[in-house]
Amino acid sequence: MSSAIIALAVAFVMGIATIGPGLAQGNAAARAMEGIARQPEAAGDIRTTMIIALAFMEALTIYGLLIAFMLLGKMG
């Protein structure tokens, strides 16, 4: 495979892997804050659930980074 094609694939993978979870994390945090504002007594449960969800979303970004590194390894 051509090095230029692999470099473009790496850029595409990193772009998608960061934009998608980034938007989802922002949306999840906004909804959690809205839920806490509506029911302050449930703040602990909402916060715990949000942190777990954010960790799973961040794992998707790390998988994208792993794929990008694997593609970069094919360039050499």
Would you list the DSSP string of the chain? --HHHHHHHHHHHHHHHHHHHHHHHHHHHHHHHHHHHH-GGGHHHHHHHHHHHHHHHHHHHHHHHHHHHHHHHHH-
Q: What average pLDDT does this structure show over 1-9?
A: 85
pLDDT at 6: 87
Residue 42's pLDDT is 96
pLDDT value at residue 1: 64
Fold of the domain built from segment(s) 3-75 = F1FO ATP Synthase (1.20.20)
Asked whether 54 and 25 are in contact (CB, 8 A), the reply is yes
Domain residue ranges of the chain, discontinuous segments joined by +: 3-75
Residue 19 pLDDT exceeds 90: yes
pLDDT, tens only, 27-75 = 999 999 999 999 999 999 999 999 999 999 999 899 999 998 998 888 7
